[in-house]
Amino acid sequence: MKRKGMSRREFMALASLATAGGYLHLQNGIARAMMGSGGMGGGGMGGGGTTIINPPPGSPFKDPAEAVKNALGVYELAVQEAQVNVNGTWATLLTYNGAFPGPTIRARRGETLRVQLKNFLPSTTEKNILGHTKNITNLHTHGLHVSPEPPADSMMIQLKPGEIYDYSYDLGHEEPGHLNFYHPHVHGVVAEQYWGGLAGPLVIEDDTTALAGYETHIMVLKDLTLSGSAPTPYTSMMDYMHGKEGNLVMVNGQVNPVLNIRPGQVQRWRIVNASNARFYKLSLEGHSLYLVGTDGGLLDKLYHISSLLLSPGERADILVKASRTAKSYRFLSLPYSRGGMSSQQQVTLLTLSCKGATVNSSLPTSVNPGAKRVVMDTSMLPRRTLTLSMMQGRGYINGISFTDMDHTYKFMSHLGGWEVWEIINQSGMDHPFHQHVNSAQILSITGGDSAYASLYTTIPAWKDVVIVPKWGKVTMLVPVMDWPGMTMFHCHIIEHEDIGMMGAWDIMGMPM
Ligand code: C2O
Ligand code: CU
Ligand code: CU
């Protein structure tokens, strides 16, 4: 409660005190002090200073719209402002084809995915507070193992208002069975466009029938705060340092939608955290969750978990088996402290209404038996150390803040090899680290949530986003396969990417 009373002037006073490394320390100290004085407050606060966001059950759950190919087999995506009903308020958001979230694109391993992107945003010379020209956009297929060169997943492609680009992605080496997503990636303006609404699901279909029989839903987690009829603007460096978290926390653009399930029924939920900076710790009242897939594909079998931390950019494929007891259960995001100024919140994401005739669906005994943890001697592999830090309104990797491809921390890899990357977090805030093109297996996580660390260091998961805990570190095994070209790695608190916590990855070699 008290924290809310902290004015922008006070924030700015803090910001002006910022010196190398000390900034987040200082903020943390203050955040802790305020938590402490707040005590186990009442009215609106739960135990331990946790804010409870528990809106009443809303309208029926809806999956995102489905994208439809045109007669030429191309998905057309128009980036355009559109009026969207956000929890009862008509707001002008940035959308793909008028939809919030964007429509689901589906493809299969072995296909060529073609997307025509059209930038219908208004022409402007206006710059944002970081000095970048607004309304330039492009398309990133987050999670796909595809070429980082034009006409595929290249960040060098940039569309001014009025421009059109034909993307084409060879999915010949793609992993089946995972949920990905698409979003803009023009350095310096990503956070505003993403916050404004630009993100949509991208499914690579399963090539197994293990999960085919279950009712399946896609859930795009996205938060937003409106000022009047527009997303709140980026007005201070605090927005970038901290990362924006919205007061409306939505599943597929709906606040606390109601999803029906029958007692005993199994459903598959494919979840992507498409929020700028909000972390979710997913938990379903009265139920376990069964993890069957992660960022990079399906797991060998079910992993029984009570809750799952999902940071910006991460995905989870889970099965839920409804209780025999017909009643409503809340799907929650439990309190988690990612550091910095973020408050601890418990949020009701959706209401699972369990009713009707009991069915007795059974859980699968195996999902993708081919999924394995890689076992190899890593002692002779090339090792990279990537140190993440923040100071004076900029993000850094190995001491360099990204400004353009010539002013960034860059390294070269050789196609066909394996590498060990060690990512070190020298700040008081968690950073979800993301690398394009090749997903990795997590070898170790130091610090942070222990359930998260033990999960991802033991299951056969392929990850393209991993939480690097505050003051902690992660090591991961990265295969550098199939696709040469210039690509990126960065923090997926997407504001941190815009202020420079990004580097370039130059993959050398001949395509196979
Ligand atoms: Cu979802 Cu380079 O990002
Ligand atoms: Cu990405
Ligand atoms: Cu970050």
CA of 377 to the centre of ligand 3 (A): 31
Nearest Cα to Cα of residue 176 among 208, 200, 201, 153: 208
404: CB partners within 8 A, 6+ apart? 187
> Can you tell me which atom of ligand 1 is nearest the CA of 142?
1
Residue 438 gets which letter from DSSP?
A: -
Residues with CB under 6 A from ligand 1: 140, 142, 183, 185, 313, 434, 436, 488, 490, 492
Percent of the chain exceeding pLDDT 70 equals: 90
Is the model's pLDDT at 106 over the cut of 90? yes
Beta bridge partners of 310: 280
On the question of pLDDT at 19 being above 60, the answer is no
Max CA separation in the chain (angstroms): 63
Structure confidence at residue 343 (pLDDT) = 77
Q: How far is the CA of 436 from the centre of ligand 2 (A)?
A: 5
Q: Which atom of ligand 1 is nearest to the CA of 465?
A: 1
14, pLDDT greater than 50:
no
Contact 22, 389 (CB under 8 A): no
Atom of ligand 1 nearest to the CA of 489: 2
Q: Write down the pLDDT at residue 340.
A: 79
- Residue indicated by tokens 């850094």: 396
Measured in angstroms, how far is the CA atom of residue 142 from the centroid of ligand 1? 5
Question: 245: closest CA among 333, 138, 127, 142?
Answer: 333
Measured from the CA of 313, which atom of ligand 1 is nearest?
Answer: 1
Point out the least confidently predicted range of 30-39, 97-106, 408-417, 419-428. 30-39
User: Are the C-beta atoms of 195 and 165 separated by less than 8 Å?
Assistant: no
Atom number, ligand 1, closest to the C-alpha of residue 181:
1
CA dihedral 183, 189, 193, 195 (to 10 degrees): 100
Say how far apart CA 509 and CA 413 lie, in whole Å: 9
Kind plus residue range of the DSSP H or E element containing 36: helix 22-38
Closest-approaching ligand to the CA atom of 504: 1
Tell me how far the alpha carbon of residue 484 lies from the centroid of ligand 1, in angstroms: 18
1-10, 133-142, 296-305, 352-361: segment of lowest average pLDDT = 1-10
Domains of the chain (ranges; CATH) run 2-15+61-204 (2.60.40.420), 215-354 (2.60.40.420), 383-508 (2.60.40.420)
Return the axis-axis angle of helices 8-16 and 22-38, rounded to nearest 10°: 140
Please tell me the number of the ligand nearest to residue 143's CA.
2
Q: Of 490, 508, 504, nearest to 404 (Cα)? A: 504
User: For 117-163, what is each residue's pLDDT tens digit?
Assistant: 999 999 999 999 999 999 999 999 999 999 999 999 999 999 999 99
Report the Cα–Cα distance between both ends of the chain, in Å, rounded. 57
492 CA distance to ligand 3 middle (Å) = 6
Kindly report the average pLDDT of the chain as a whole number: 91
Q: Give the span between the Cα atoms of 445 and 464, in whole angstroms.
A: 15
The token duo for 62 is 């809806």
Q: Which residues, listed in sequence order, are joined to residue 137 by a DSSP beta bridge?
A: 159
The reported pLDDT for the residue numbered 36 is 31
- Pick the atom of ligand 1 nearest to 143's CA: 1
Question: Which range (254-268, 330-344, 376-390, 408-422) has the least confidence?
Answer: 330-344
Give distance in angstroms: CA of 496 to centre of ligand 3: 5
Distance separating alpha carbons of residues 196 and 79, to the nearest angstrom: 11
Q: What mean pLDDT comes out for the span 21-46?
A: 33
Reduce the secondary structure of 319-382 to three states and give it as a string. EEECCCCCCEEEEEECCCCCECCCCCEEEEEEEEEECCCCCCCCCCCCCCCCCCCCCCCCCCCC
Cβ-Cβ contacts under 8 Å for 5 (sequence gap 6 or more):
none
Q: What is the pLDDT of residues 240-264, one digit of tens each?
A: 999 999 999 999 999 999 999 999 9
Nearest CA to ligand 1 atom 3: 142
Provide, rounded to the nearest whole percent, the portion of the chain with pLDDT above 90: 89
pLDDT in tens, 428-467: 999 999 999 999 999 999 999 999 999 999 999 999 999 9
> How far, in Å, is the centroid of ligand 2 from the Cα of 142?
4
Q: Whose CA is nearest to atom 1 of ligand 1?
A: 142
Q: Residue range 76-88: average pLDDT?
A: 97
This prediction has a pTM of 0.91
pLDDT at residue 48, as a whole number: 53
Query: Do 252 and 62 contact (CB within 8 A), yes or no?
Result: yes
Q: According to the model, what pLDDT value does residue 43 have?
A: 31
